[in-house]
Each structure stands twice: as structure tokens, then as C-alpha cells.
Structure 1
Amino acid sequence: MTALTLFQAHQIISGALAASKEAGYAPMGVAVLDESGNLKAYAREDGASMFRFDVAQAKAWGAVGMGVSSRTLGERAKGNPNFFVSLAATSNGRFLPQTGAVLIKDANGAVLGAVGASGGSGDEDEAICIAGVKAAGLVPG
């Protein structure tokens, strides 16, 4: 399996922030994690609040850990809230099932990691993550 490179992580962040700027969104934070949930790269735009890192990372961490987008996790949490509260508690708050993170896949569908964003609505965060993954020539999932 191919590993996510630092260069690709930077491409994802650059693409995501460019999409955010083009759309006129509020200042964002974008976190890229590898397939093991380790931070590969992070950027916080000027004016973004201090919470952006924790939220973006937790969205991405949940996505890569569970193998689905954070939107899917949020939908699943509605039907089984106790399980998802337990996941958040046992992960010391590193798990956040809220829209705003997608998987990063290669052309063969292998999961390379996840990217999460924070600063706008969940839909805005997710949209810039998708744009960033595509800008790096990878597949959002």
C-alpha cells in the first residue's frame, strides 16, 4: 500500500484553503492524518480560533479510525448515541462524529488517511476537505 506523503498532505491543505477562500468561508483549520491517525500536517488560517485544530483533528481521527466520512459517523450516531458518546470518552475526546472530514484514498481505493476541517458549517468544512483531496490527485471517501 502507498503511504500518504508530506507533499500530498500539503497539497491537500493548500487545495482545501484555496477552496475555502474562493467560497468566502470564515478562517479555517485543516488537519491531515495518516492511515494510523497520526498528524501529518496542519494549517490554521489567520483569524481562525484556537479550537480549530482540536475539532479538525477529532473529525479526521474518527473518520480514519472508523473507515468512513465524519458525515456518515454523525448519521450513525443519531441511531446509537450511547455508543458514540462512549467512543468519544474512551478516546479522551479525540473522536468527533460531526460532518467535516473525509477519507483520503488512492486510485485503488486504499485508505491513506483522512482530512478534517473546522471553521465553517459542517457542509463547508466537508466541501473544502473534498476539494483538497482532489487537488492532490487523490480520491475523497
Structure 2
Amino acid sequence: MPQPAHPAAINGLTLAQAEIIANAALAKGREVGLMPLAVTVLDAGGHLKSAKREDGASLMRPAIADGKAFGALAMGFGGREFARRATAAPAFLNALSDLCGGRAVPVPGGVLVRDAAHNLLGAVGVSGDISAQDEVCCIAGIEAAGLIPDTGDPA
């Protein structure tokens, strides 16, 4: 019988939490009638915990969802703040893009995941509809797991 991971080996989100987040994010998209979505959940170290692509989601949706989550995690703030900073400092965004191989996507729809003590556990990215709607799905997924979404907007 497999042994559970040692607590020190868990880098933020557990697989069970990531699956709850991904499933609830997709369910929210269906509930509100969005285009087919892709969702990516990363742990605090930037490692993939869960990725799902709905039937009909276009080719690049999983990569965009990953880029939204990665960008938020890499910068340490949610996609809304990342988008504001990208607009204000395009030269910095160009440098960041070079440094991370173009992986960071600076738009809403990348949301940090925090626990009740505000510890960073990971990030979620959703892509498939307009960014604001993608973000709604991230928030729904994170809250379904009993965790705190951090979009980059002040509380």
C-alpha cells in the first residue's frame, strides 16, 4: 500500500485540493454559460498539480491558463495587479517575458491561492472566455476548496 507523502514534501496545495479547485472552476464556467475552459493549478513551487481542458476548448487554452497561474505566482500577486503593472511598465514586462521564456500571461484569470493565515499555497489559471469571467471561475474553485483567492485587487 502506498505511503502518504511526508508533510514536508507537500509544497503548498495537495492534489486533493487542486482537484477540487479545478473541478469547481469548470463547474462555475458551465453554470454561467462560458465558452469551453482550461484550468491549471500550480503549487507554491510552481509545479503542476492539476490541469484540465474541457471538450471544445481551443488549442492554446491550457498554455494560456498555465501562463496566467505562472505569472501570478512568479510575480507574487494576482493577475489584476500583474495586468496593471504590465500596462504601466511595458519594458519590464518585455524583460520578464524574456527571463521566463514567454510563460507569464499578465491578465486577470490568474489568481493566487492562500490559506486563512495568508500563506501562499499556489495559483490557479483559467482560460477560455473573457479574462474577467475566467477569474470568476478561479475564485469559485479556490473558495470551493475552503481557501482564499488573491486576485491582486486590494481587499
Q: Same fold by TM-score, threshold 0.5 exceeded?
A: yes
8 Å contact 2:143–2:149 — kept in the other structure? yes
Task: Name which one, 1 or 2, has greater alpha-carbon Rg.
Answer: 2
Q: Runs of 5+ in structure 1 lacking a partner?
A: none
Taking the aligned partners of 2:136 and 2:97, their CA distance within structure 1 comes to 24
- Residue by residue over 1:33-66, the C-alpha shift from the partner in whole angstroms, topping out at 9 and shown as x without a partner, is 0111111110000000110111000110010111
Q: What residue is the counterpart of 1:40 in the other structure?
A: 49
Taking the aligned partners of 1:13 and 1:21, their CA distance within structure 2 comes to 13
Alignment of structure 1 residues 100-115 onto 2, 5 Å: 100-115=109-124
Q: CA RMSD in A?
A: 1.2
Query: Is the partner of 1:10 in helix, strand or coil?
Result: helix
* One-letter amino acid matched to 2:96: L
Count of paired positions: 141
- Residue by residue over 1:72-117, the C-alpha shift from the partner in whole angstroms, topping out at 9 and shown as x without a partner, is 1001111101101110121111111111110001111000000000
Q: TM-score, normalised by structure 2?
A: 0.88
Alignment of structure 1 residues 1-141 onto 2, 5 Å: 3-141=12-150
Taking the aligned partners of 1:95 and 1:6, their CA distance within structure 2 comes to 23
Q: Runs of 5+ in structure 2 lacking a partner?
A: 1-7, 151-155
* One-letter amino acid matched to 1:79: A
Q: TM-score, normalised by structure 1?
A: 0.97
Moved over 3 A (4+): none
* One-letter amino acid matched to 2:29: S
